[in-house]
Amino acid sequence: MSRVRLRCPAPPRPGARVSLRYVEERREALAVVRGVLQPVLLESDRGAMLTVWLDGETGYCATADLSPRGLSAAAERAAHWAGAAHGRGLALPEPPWRTPDAPIRFDSVRDDALPARADLVAMLHEEAAAMKRDARIVHWAASLRIAERVQRLWLDGEDAGTQRLRFVEPGLEATAADGARSQTRTLGGQYNGVCRQGGLQALRDSGFAGGGARVAAEALELLAAPNCPSGVRDLLLSPDQMMLQIHESIGHPLELDRILGDERNFAGTSFVTPDMFGHYQFGSPLLNVSFDPGVPGEYASYGADDEGMPARRVPLIERGVLKRALGGTLSQARARARGWPIEGAAAARASGWQRPPIDRMGNLDLEPGASTMEAMIAAVERGIWMQTNASWSIDDARNKFQFGCEWGRLIEDGRLGAVVRNPNYRGVSATFWRSLAMVGDRSTLQRLGTPTCGKGEPGQLARVGHASPACLFRAVDVFGGES
């Protein structure tokens, strides 16, 4: 990464306060598709966001001109927008950022190097070759995306922190076909949930090595499997489906700016209302969900959010009761101004230098319980076990949902039965989590994530982490969907 020398510009107007957030990112994508190495994708960009607070209002201006003159011009433009907003919105008695007691230092690159590109390509070829094990495998691919990011933050002219992050996203995909029927099995689902921060160790922990043969074998197994039956059954979800269930029916509904109405005309609202915090029974007493950007190696770990709030673990749901929202300092101030003293988290995040921070999930984790996988299976009289997200649909209040998975296996009288294809289930967020009957222990826990969580106008894509054990739900509406 380049070594750019920057200095936060002076306040452009008397009484103004200024923050500068610099972001530089390099991205690399490698892929072997049907045995052929694809062109290597290399991308990079860098720039800065200037934020100016003036007379209670906030203005933003992004620039790729990192010269002193360019940064000063951006600060002046941000001050113009702050002035233009005067009297039109919520006046803040102080800036939306908080200067930490000491500069934040965070590094997920230093202690976990990656092999050379040639060695990574060799790994992709090896896994791709392992997938082409049968003439019925008609499509197979192995991929690896790597991104390295440097973020620096100055608040009121003071160094507030430097963060170095490396994101690793391996992928495997095999499609088996026989006549008009086809089935696809992947390493991490349609959103490639097997993603971590770090380097070689993160890649090893992902299950990528040796995963090609497994993915292809399971695609062939699904091809021969019967369609998933329909009816009410107990539902055992693996972490690679729990990830998206948490994301869509807990994470998005708890974003404070969404609760305040910001996403109404774009991504929707939330079934959660401001008066629910502190008493609403979101799930069963087994449901404990935390926001923890400090977990080493998880996909959305960081030392501070993009408003300078130091990262710390906070509980959002305890024993099923809703406690906190996913809201940064700005959204918390907006809620207080409306009479709702809702506590938030270090959740103000921007997708890059050209976007302002908005409320986002970071690492949103469901805490492990006390049940082994064997105990959960034994506790099911008539049920199904599902793995790996294949499709999803949810309404604009993040309430009524439908999810499809790649792989299913029936459970009858406490024993595993036949593998089934096209397993799906549906429910309502406001009641689904209350049917949580058993939570897996740490032996079932996986740290996963999603690389492309979309939100905001103009749009922003964020990297989000989710850790979860396997979980058992009672009496869920299950159905099969033909390819």
State the CATH number of the domain containing residue 201.
3.30.2290.10
The answer to whether residue 29 is domain-embedded is yes
Between 40-54, 84-98, 307-321, 380-394, the lowest mean confidence (pLDDT) is in: 84-98
Report the candidate in 30, 301, 22 with the shortest Cα–Cα distance to residue 144. 30
Q: Do 285 and 207 sit in the same domain of this protein? A: no
Quote the CA–CA distance of 226 and 247 in Å, as a whole number. 30
Which residue, of 205, 224, 243, is where some domain finishes?
A: 224
> Quick one: average pLDDT of 171-185?
97
Residue pair 320/285 in contact by the 8 Å Cβ criterion = yes
Q: Do 193 and 236 sit in the same domain of this protein? A: no
pTM of the model: 0.95
How many domains does the chain contain in total?
2
Q: Do 438 and 347 sit in the same domain of this protein? A: yes
The answer to whether residue 2 is domain-embedded is no
Between 3-7, 88-92, 208-212, 460-464, the lowest mean confidence (pLDDT) is in: 88-92
The answer to whether residue 352 is domain-embedded is yes
Angle between helices 117-131 and 211-224 (to 10 degrees): 30
Between 257-266, 378-387, 444-453, the lowest mean confidence (pLDDT) is in: 257-266
* DSSP structural state of residue 229: P
Q: Do 244 and 144 sit in the same domain of this protein? A: no
Q: Do 190 and 273 sit in the same domain of this protein? A: no
Predicted confidence band of residue 3 (pLDDT cuts 50, 70, 90): confident
Q: Do 127 and 242 sit in the same domain of this protein? A: no
Can you give the residue range of the structural domain that contains 351? 231-480
Cα–Cα distance list, 283 to 234, 280, 318, 344, 428 (Å): 16, 9, 9, 20, 12
The answer to whether residue 218 is domain-embedded is yes
Report the candidate in 449, 36, 113, 384 with the shortest Cα–Cα distance to residue 251. 449
Give SS3 for 30: strand
The answer to whether residue 38 is domain-embedded is yes
The pLDDT assigned to 94 comes to 80
Q: Do 218 and 251 sit in the same domain of this protein? A: no
> Quick one: average pLDDT of 455-474?
96
The answer to whether residue 1 is domain-embedded is no
Q: Do 138 and 287 sit in the same domain of this protein? A: no
Q: Do 360 and 430 sit in the same domain of this protein? A: yes
Which residue, of 174, 200, 224, is where some domain finishes?
A: 224
Residue pair 376/363 in contact by the 8 Å Cβ criterion = no
Q: Do 172 and 281 sit in the same domain of this protein? A: no
Q: What is the C-alpha radius of gyration for the chain, rounded to an integer number of angstroms? A: 24
Q: Which amino acid is at 347?
A: A
266: pLDDT strictly greater than 90: no
The answer to whether residue 125 is domain-embedded is yes
Q: Do 134 and 257 sit in the same domain of this protein? A: no
The answer to whether residue 293 is domain-embedded is yes
Quote the CA–CA distance of 290 and 370 in Å, as a whole number. 17
User: Average pLDDT, whole number, for the chain?
Assistant: 95
Which residue, of 182, 203, 224, is where some domain finishes?
A: 224
Q: Do 458 and 342 sit in the same domain of this protein? A: yes
Report the candidate in 412, 415, 392, 393 with the shortest Cα–Cα distance to residue 229. 412
